[in-house]
Amino acid sequence: MRIGLSGGGATVDRMIDQAVRAENDGFTSLWYAGAIGGDPLVAMAAAGRATQTLELGTSVVQTYPCHPVLQAQRFAALANAVGRSVTLGIGPSHRPVIENMYGLSYDHVGRHTEEYVTILSALLAGEGINLKGEDFQVQIGSGLKPDAPVPVLVAALAPRLLRVAGEKADGVILWMANGKAVETHIAPRLRKAAAGAGRAEPRIVVGLPVAVHDDEAEGRQAASEQFAGYGVLPNYRRILDIGGAPGPADAAIVGNESSVRAQIEGLFSAGATDVWAAVFPVGTDRAGSRDRTRALLAQLAQA
């Protein structure tokens, strides 16, 4: 199974140690949030130089604060520095973040993201771009053509961006989308768009909180406390509703080893190509809880 973990660490040395350990334990990938270390590209560059095969990706970097031409240049430079492919997961974030933190308009988020992905994908594929859009006007004769591929994944949850991800990108990177949401909403729209555009089968990277714990009710209560904020953001609220999950705790993967194994296998059966596990602790022995979850995930990754 293609199973990855959340990337991070309090220091660069710890980020490197985490990446080396993840690779040695058979995990396929590490996924770095946009705020990790102030800029996830720093962590990815350091981790990439210390590993050989581990996929390093973002989950996700925001579109609004960084022009797509600059974003393409940054990730091309990262791939060249690491010496192998890196994966660019991008998303438009949420209205409160973009409008309150950055002072930018979120009114045309679908249009903005579609133009952004069009520019980004063309440049990273080594193509030129001449786009006179409503949000971006870009004219570049030739693309960047990094030494190694930079696949683009879109944090797409709604129909328009699922179409964009299928037509113009390499797939999606998700958060809070459970198996039902993937099977009934994500996968059909994404695959239809990719097939219509003559593109390869798209990746579906499913990110969810994961904890192995014997008392499922206690585990879900911990998930409710740690991930409650996602349930009030409209983008996540909609995908939770599509999946029939009253809240983030209901979408989380929680239970004993047998139960968690079955739930993760269910995600692959629903259409996931990869699972990105955000391991969270339950109970007073936080380190022991994380270790137990990680041990099972490592077994599954090597299966």
Query: Can you list the domains of the chain with their CATH numbers?
Result: 169-303 (3.20.20.30)
145 Rama sector, left if φ>0, alpha if ψ -120 to 50, beta otherwise: left
Q: Where in the chain does DSSP place strands (E)? A: 3-7, 29-32, 55-58, 61-62, 88-91, 129-132, 137-140, 152-154, 171-175, 203-212, 253-255, 274-279
Local confidence pLDDT in tens for the 303 residues of the chain: 999 999 999 999 999 999 999 999 999 999 999 999 899 999 999 999 999 999 999 999 999 999 999 999 999 999 999 999 999 999 999 999 999 999 999 999 999 999 999 999 999 999 999 999 999 999 998 878 899 999 999 999 999 999 999 999 999 999 999 999 999 999 999 999 999 999 999 999 999 999 999 999 999 999 999 999 999 999 999 999 999 999 999 999 999 999 999 999 999 999 999 999 999 999 999 999 999 999 999 999 998
- State the helix-helix crossing angle for 159-168 and 187-196, rounded to 10 degrees: 40
Pairing of strands 88-91, 61-62: parallel
Phi, psi dihedrals of residue 259, rounded to the nearest 5°: -65, -45
Q: Please indicate, yes or no, whether the overall pTM of this predicted structure exceeds 0.85.
A: yes
